[in-house]
Amino acid sequence: MKAVAFPAKIANLSFPSNCCSLFFRSPATFLSPALPCRKLTKGIRGVEGLMSQCLSSSSQSLSFLSNSFSSQPESELLQALPSSKPKSPPLQLPWLIVGLGNPGKKYQGTRHNVGFEMVDALADAEGISMNTVNFKALFGKGVIGNIPIMLAKPQTFMNLSGESVGQIVSFYKIPLKQVLVVYDDLDLPFGKLRLLPKGGHGGHNGMRSIIDRLKGSRDFPRLRIGIGRPPGKMDTANFVLRQFNRQEQEELDHTFQTGLEAIRILLLEGFNKSATFVNTRKSMEQLS
């Protein structure tokens, strides 16, 4: 039997798998009576007929698949597809804002406790409860904008403030650049604020304790509140434990308002903008 030479348009066609299974069989199987396309004795016409039958079967299969998918709701089809879930944003670590002072009614309203008062003002403004005692401090959690914050007023007395701050920083793994310490400063004029990115303790025992507990690191921001120098020859220890008179308290309330705005800017817009705001006289004029 001579080999049949197929025309180019037939030889170059690609066939579905079910059609190919009909072509590539053994002669015995191919000529089985069970197959509807068993006779290829008619040459090219026989092949074309077989091709037509195979292509018709493939079209019916594709039509069935298309109808099956079109009858399904879009939500089901999307669920069947491999999902590419977006990566969740990195965990936002909280800011820790610490106000320094001494616990107890005896020290309320004294110059050495302006750090406590600033944190109280911030808690009141942002609706944060400070009734929890944790890490040797009065402690509260909240948010400013979308930034989580923790407020702390160490109850260890001023000279041991680092015991509380060190525990909080270690437990929550807070970066030091997100630890703001608020405290009184003798070297600043009364009511003046100064925001710094880092620095030493400046002779302040509370800051000295914190730096010691942070393994000597000074790389954390601090907001200093000026209480002025003692008049005449008054002892410094007695001066810092004195309470404010009415006029001083009114001026201090303006200072706290400036401090609150500075803290909000720090958290939401960054250190540089906050420092520019709080370290200039313009900020005081805006709020007066």
- In order, the DSSP letters of 209-253 are HHHHHTTT---S-EEEEE--PPSTT--HHHHHTSBP-HHHHHHHH
Q: Position 6: which residue type?
A: F
Distance of CA 124 to the CA centre of its chain: 25
Closest CA to 223 of 263, 187, 186: 263
Rg (CA), the chain: 40
Output the six-digit token pair for 39: 């006779």
Return the bridge partners of 132, or none.
Answer: 139
Output the six-digit token pair for 135: 């890490």
Judge whether 214 and 162 are in contact, CB under 8 Å: yes
Closest CA to 222 of 188, 191, 177, 258: 177
Tell me the pairing of strands 137-144 and 147-154: antiparallel
- Per annotation, catalytic residue among 112, 201, 204, 254: 112
Residue 204 annotated as catalytic: no
Closest CA to 153 of 186, 107, 117, 110: 117
Judge whether 243 and 115 are in contact, CB under 8 Å: no
- In order, the DSSP letters of 256-269 are HHHHHHHHHHHHHH
- In order, the DSSP letters of 85-123 are PPPPPPP-PPEEEEE----SGGGTTBGGGHHHHHHHHHH
Please list the active-site residues: 112
